[in-house]
């Protein structure tokens, strides 16, 4: 039986298409008939097999001539080869199957490689995004950070106590803690807000909010300055900024810069965000150094944090929100004491109307009163 095939010979060029020929299977050879040409006898051992064609699925026999002929088998021609019994038949069939199998596998390999490529593109994009956010947190221009801080404190700022004694005292204490160097970089704004939880919040750009609950918990101006020093360092080290940029990403950054009013909804969540333990330790140690530089006693910071961590007073337990936003190390007091050990003598508690200040804060405190 003659099966249709297409043959590419040395005469085939772009302008001379392949020959439409027929192939006949014999015992141990093939007879290729190109119309108008002498029939050619091909021994199966002299042709090699491959796959090709538009779908790369067509069996091709290639001769071993100097300019090889390529014979593209039609489906029928391939079936004929498969059904024809001849000595080399089975091995040819096995070869075709092997080729198809390899192709089948390689298709999966191709898909897998594509999947891997896609995955790596996604990973690289994610990584680039994280690196971008990280760098943004580190190198954001100060003016942007201030703008972001102004935008993110719009709502909380409305809660700040207006009582002049309270407002002035906290600002005076805060500025004393921060010192001239930090004040040149940031226009720090220290505020007291009437909230019962023992907590303090630092926002990018120099905004620090202390709850009345924390002021009630503090037993001396030194304890309060200790907390303020810690919060000031969260701003100087850009922990607050990095935390926000990290958690809210690019959209936050854009709305922050653009001053979108929808931002406050996002900010409400910011109060519950945690600093990392590393950032906490950094704020502690650097905060302690800040106190020493300002000539303020550092013991207050230690006693405040120690008391807060050890506090088993049921009155305070539910109000100790500070620990949830500022996760502390159990060795906190130890490393703080070590830092304080090099303190210069002559540190002095700032002269402020502490009792009056505390009393006025207590009056504003919504849940805990003396």
Residue 76 or 329: the one with the smaller Cβ distance to Zn ion is: 329
CB 252 to Zn ion: min, Å: 20
In angstroms, rounded to a whole number, what is the distance separating the alpha carbons of residues 159 and 179?
Answer: 26
Which is it for strands 48-52 and 58-62: parallel, antiparallel or unpaired?
antiparallel
CB 186 to Zn ion: min, Å: 17
All residues at 6 or more sequence positions from 17 whose CB lies less than 8 Å from its CB, including other chains: none
Stretch of residues binding Zn ion (CB under 5 A), selected from 24-32, 134-142, 209-217, 270-278: 270-278
The tokens of 185 are what?
């970089």
From residue 38, how far is each of 21, 31, 33, 72, 241 by CA, in Å?
12, 10, 7, 19, 85
286 part of the interface to Zn ion, by CB under 5 A: no
* N- to C-terminal Cα separation, the chain: 110
CB 174 to Zn ion: min, Å: 15
CB 299 to Zn ion: min, Å: 19
Stretch of residues binding Zn ion (CB under 5 A), selected from 14-22, 53-61, 182-190, 319-327: 319-327
Stretch of residues binding Zn ion (CB under 5 A), selected from 114-122, 168-176, 279-287, 362-370: 279-287
Beta bridge partners of 190: 208
332 part of the interface to Zn ion, by CB under 5 A: no
Q: In what order do the strands lie in the sheet with 29-33?
A: 40-43, 29-33, 19-25, 2-8, 70-73, 58-62, 48-52
Residue 77 or 231: the one with the smaller Cβ distance to Zn ion is: 231
Nearest to 227 by CA among 193, 202, 256, 207: 202
176 part of the interface to Zn ion, by CB under 5 A: no
243 part of the interface to Zn ion, by CB under 5 A: no
211 part of the interface to Zn ion, by CB under 5 A: no
Stretch of residues binding Zn ion (CB under 5 A), selected from 127-135, 206-214, 243-251, 272-280: 272-280
In order, the DSSP letters of 98-132 are HHHHHHHHHHHHHHHHHHHHHHHHHHHHHHHHHHH
| Among the listed residues 243, 326, 332, 358, the single contact to Zn ion using CB under 5 A | 326
Answer whether 205's CB lies under 8 Å from 255's CB.
no
Beta bridge partners of 73: 5
Residue 59 or 340: the one with the smaller Cβ distance to Zn ion is: 340
Residue 222 or 255: the one with the smaller Cβ distance to Zn ion is: 222
Stretch of residues binding Zn ion (CB under 5 A), selected from 115-123, 148-156, 263-271, 276-284: 276-284
- Of 69-108, binders to Zn ion (CB under 5 A) are none
From residue 200, how far is each of 40, 224, 370 by CA, in Å?
95, 10, 20
Number of residues that bind Zn ion (CB under 5 A): 4
CB 242 to Zn ion: min, Å: 13
Stretch of residues binding Zn ion (CB under 5 A), selected from 26-34, 66-74, 246-254, 321-329: 321-329
| Contacting residues toward Zn ion, per CB under 5 A | 275, 280, 283, 326
């Amino acid at each position: 039986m003659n099966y249709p095939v297409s043959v590419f010979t040395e005469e085939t060029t772009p302008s001379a298409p392949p020959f439409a020929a027929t192939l006949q299977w014999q015992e141990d050879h093939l007879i290729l008939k190109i119309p108008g040409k002498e029939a050619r006898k091909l021994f199966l051992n002299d042709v090699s097999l491959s796959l090709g064609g538009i779908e790369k699925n067509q069996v091709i026999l290639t001769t071993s001539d100097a300019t090889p002929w390529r014979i593209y088998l039609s489906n029928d021609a391939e079936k004929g080869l498969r059904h024809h019994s001849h000595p080399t038949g089975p091995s040819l069939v096995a070869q075709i199957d092997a080729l198809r199998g390899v192709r089948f596998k390689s298709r999966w390999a191709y898909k897998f490689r594509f999947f891997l490529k896609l995955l790596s593109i996604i990973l690289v994009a994610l990584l680039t995004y994280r690196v971008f956010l990280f760098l943004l947190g580190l190198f954001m221009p100060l003016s942007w950070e201030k703008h972001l801080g102004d935008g993110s404190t719009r709502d909380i700022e409305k809660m700040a106590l207006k009582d002049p004694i309270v407002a002035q005292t906290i600002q005076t204490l805060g500025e004393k803690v921060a010192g001239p160097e930090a004040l040149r970089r940031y226009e720090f704004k220290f505020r007291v807000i009437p909230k019962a939880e023992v907590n303090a919040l630092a926002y990018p750009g120099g905004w620090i909010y202390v709850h009345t609950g924390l002021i009630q918990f503090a037993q001396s101006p030194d304890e309060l300055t200790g907390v303020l020093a810690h919060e000031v360092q969260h701003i100087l080290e850009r922990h607050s900024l990095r935390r926000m940029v990290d958690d809210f990403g690019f959209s936050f950054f854009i709305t922050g810069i653009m001053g979108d009013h929808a931002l406050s909804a996002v900010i409400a969540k910011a109060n519950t965000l945690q600093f990392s333990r590393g950032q906490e330790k950094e704020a502690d140690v650097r905060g302690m150094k800040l106190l020493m530089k300002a000539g303020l006693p550092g013991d207050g910071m230690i006693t405040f944090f120690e008391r807060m961590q050890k506090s088993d007073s049921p009155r305070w337990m539910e109000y100790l929100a500070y620990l949830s936003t500022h996760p502390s190390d159990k060795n906190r007091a130890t490393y703080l004491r070590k830092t304080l050990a090099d303190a210069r003598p002559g540190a002095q508690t700032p002269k402020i109307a502490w009792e009056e200040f505390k009393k006025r804060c207590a009056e504003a405190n919504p849940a805990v009163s003396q």
